[in-house]
């Protein structure tokens, strides 16, 4: 299916025959991300009335964001300067607007290339899901939830990358006992031109689960050297090659975290039954609301939900304003697993924490993306839809 970007009315009458039946016409660039994000569109045709600079900008973004989506540019006149700039920005072809036969050919070539790229990227990886695990208080179980969730996805066959964005004190690497070799620091020199090969060269694979992991800098002093732009670039690239990108967060909201929120399809908010955790999470949610983050893309996880500490799940729900999607039990098996470098949800499948976590992943997270789990936990991917 094709998106035709043209602000002038009647474009569908002019180009409809050349573009075929499945065309969605949009007047603004802002609508394009939503259309291509649905995963159904593999071609954006930019009409002759769209300013060339805006066309280049969109093509540059799509090249990183959704490499399988092709861009064809229509111009009233073909000029060398436009052709050169178009090629540089990643536009596949520039076609004279009144040459409908050339447009038909360009569409066909672009669709063939998109089909090959889609397969290379491992569908549905070209539009993977970004799941961010956050709380505004330290020690509530963000890393525990992120690691278990990501590892569970990986063991069910989903290509999954876990990124430790707690840049100062990230402990994903140590809790999975990965050797301290590469880290996100190794990507800093690639900022602005990060590609799949670069990312693959720094990712480590957790052998027992097949989970790919990108760990935080080994030295907390390096945290400031990781630009927020790199983090956004990394997430965009990762979601074009993985089915799931799980982000483990610090208990604060620096710039790179805000950038990651913007790119997240789902926010998993973690709280425990203590007033500081609940209060801080409420304040963080207020900030997200103020920033215009979509409110429907949030799920609340109550960790150590069975502790009798005078605060109930109902109290947390009314303070936070979201229902508790899952209550995870308090169990010494959690720290014991991380001390052994194993993932509880995978290593001890019958443990109550593991069953609750998997239930959450399979019945609360996956359905958000149109995926239904089968009985043995493997994936059945239905019509994909972004939670946004
Ligand atoms: N359900 C649980 N039962 C028992 N212990 C748990 C549970 N969840 C987490 N823990 C333990 O609590 C500690 C903190 O958990 P974790 O590191 O996941 O929290 P965090 O929110 O990521 O912390 P930080 O903000 O420091 O990154 C760890 O030692 C972990 O093993
Ligand atoms: Mg943590």
Q: How does the average pLDDT of the chain come out, rounded? A: 89
Among the atoms of ligand 1, which is closest to the Cα of residue 330? Answer: 3
**Ligand 1 center from residue 343 Cα (angstroms):** 13
| Cβ(227)–Cβ(191) below 8 Å | yes
Angle between helix 313-320 and 275-290 (nearest 10)? 20
> What was the pLDDT predicted at 93?
95
Which residues are near ligand 1 (CB < 6 Å)? 135, 138-144, 166, 251, 303-304, 328, 330-331, 334-335, 338, 353
> What was the pLDDT predicted at 379?
52
Least confident range from 19-23, 107-111, 250-254, 360-364: namely: 19-23
Surrounding residues of ion ligand 2, Cβ less than 5 A:
142-143
**Ligand 2 center from residue 328 Cα (angstroms):** 16
Best probe residue, ligand 1, of 139, 284, 360 (max atoms within 8 Å of C-beta): 139
> What was the pLDDT predicted at 388?
33
Average of per-residue pLDDT across 216-224? 96
> What was the pLDDT predicted at 81?
92
Residue of the CA atom closest to atom 9 of ligand 1: 141
> What was the pLDDT predicted at 370?
82
**Ligand 1 center from residue 347 Cα (angstroms):** 18
Average of per-residue pLDDT across 233-260? 94
Give the ligand whose atoms come closest to the C-alpha of residue 147. Answer: 1
Residue 9, burial from CB neighbour count under 10 angstroms (0-12, 13-18, 19+): exposed
2-120 CATH choice from 3.40.190.10, 3.40.605.10, 3.40.50.2300, 3.30.2000.20: 3.40.50.2300
Residue of the CA atom closest to atom 3 of ligand 1: 330
Alpha carbon of 324 to those of 19, 130, 272, 305, 379: distances in Å? 47, 21, 11, 10, 24
| Cβ(84)–Cβ(107) below 8 Å | no
Which residue in 63, 70, 68, 43 sits closest to 118, CA to CA? Answer: 68
- pLDDT-derived band at 267 (thresholds 50, 70, 90) equals very high
- pLDDT-derived band at 10 (thresholds 50, 70, 90) equals confident
Q: List, as one string, the DSSP characters of 72-124.
A: EEEESS--HHHHHHHHHHT--EEEETT-HHHHHHHHHHHHHHHHHHHHHTTTT
**pLDDT above 60 (res 270):** yes
Give pLDDT tens digits for 108-144.
898 888 776 654 443 333 479 999 999 999 999 999 9
**Ligand 1 center from residue 303 Cα (angstroms):** 9
Q: Are 2-120 and 125-381 equal in CATH topology?
A: yes
User: Could you give the 3-state DSSP secondary structure of residue 206?
Assistant: strand
> What was the pLDDT predicted at 337?
96
Question: Encoding tokens for residue 281?
Answer: 């999470």
> What was the pLDDT predicted at 37?
66
125-381 CATH choice from 3.30.70.1560, 3.30.460.80, 2.60.40.60, 3.40.50.300: 3.40.50.300
Q: Where are the domains of the chain?
A: 2-120, 125-381
Give the count of beta carbons closer than 10 Å to the beta carbon of residue 335: 12
- pLDDT-derived band at 211 (thresholds 50, 70, 90) equals very high
Q: Which residues pair with 134 in a beta bridge?
A: 269
Question: Encoding tokens for residue 112?
Answer: 């063939």
**Ligand 1 center from residue 364 Cα (angstroms):** 21
**pLDDT above 80 (res 215):** yes
Give pLDDT tens digits for 50-85.
999 999 999 998 887 788 889 999 999 999 999 999
What CA dihedral angle connects 81, 83, 84 and 88, to 10 degrees?
130
Give pLDDT tens digits for 322-364.
999 999 999 999 999 999 999 999 999 999 999 999 999 999 9
């Amino acid at each position: 299916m094709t998106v035709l970007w043209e602000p002038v009315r009647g474009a569908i009458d002019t180009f409809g025959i050349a573009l075929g039946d499945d065309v969605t016409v949009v007047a603004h660039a802002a609508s394009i991300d939503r259309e291509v994000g649905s995963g159904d569109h593999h071609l954006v045709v930019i009409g002759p009335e769209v300013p060339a600079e805006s066309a280049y900008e969109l093509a540059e973004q799509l090249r990183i964001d959704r490499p399988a989506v092709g861009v064809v540019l229509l111009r009233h006149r073909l000029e060398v300067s436009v052709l050169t700039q178009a090629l540089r920005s990643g536009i596949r072809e520039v076609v004279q607007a009144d040459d409908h036969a050339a447009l038909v050919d360009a569409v066909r070539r672009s669709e063939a290339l998109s089909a090959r790229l889609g397969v290379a990227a491992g569908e549905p990886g070209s539009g993977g899901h970004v799941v961010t695990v956050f709380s505004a208080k330290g020690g509530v179980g963000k890393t525990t939830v992120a690691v278990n969730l990501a590892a569970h996805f990986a063991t069910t066959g989903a290509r999954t990358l876990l990124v430790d964005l707690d840049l100062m004190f990230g402990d994903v690497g140590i809790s999975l006992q990965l050797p301290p070799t590469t880290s996100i620091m190794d990507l800093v020199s690639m900022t602005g031109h990060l590609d799949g090969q670069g990312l693959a060269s720094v990712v480590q694979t957790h052998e027992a689960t097949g989970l790919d992991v990108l760990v935080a800098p080994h030295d907390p002093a390096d945290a400031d050297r990781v630009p927020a732009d790199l983090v956004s670039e990394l997430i965009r690239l990762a979601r074009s090659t993985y089915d799931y990108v799980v982000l483990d967060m610090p208990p604060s909201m620096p710039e790179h975290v805000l950038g990651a929120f913007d790119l997240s399809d789902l926010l998993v908010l973690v709280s425990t039954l203590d007033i500081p955790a609940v209060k801080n999470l409420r304040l963080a949610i207020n900030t997200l609301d103020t920033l215009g983050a979509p409110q429907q893309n949030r799920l609340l996880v109550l960790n150590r939900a069975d502790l009798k500490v005078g605060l109930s799940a109902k109290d947390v729900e009314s303070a936070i304003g979201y229902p508790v999607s899952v209550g995870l039990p308090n169990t010494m098996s959690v720290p014991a697993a991380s001390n052994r470098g194993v993932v509880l949800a995978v290593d001890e499948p019958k443990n109550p924490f593991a069953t609750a976590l998997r239930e959450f992943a399979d019945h609360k997270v996956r359905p958000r993306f149109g995926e239904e789990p089968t009985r043995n936990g493997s994936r059945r991917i239905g019509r994909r839809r972004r939670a946004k």
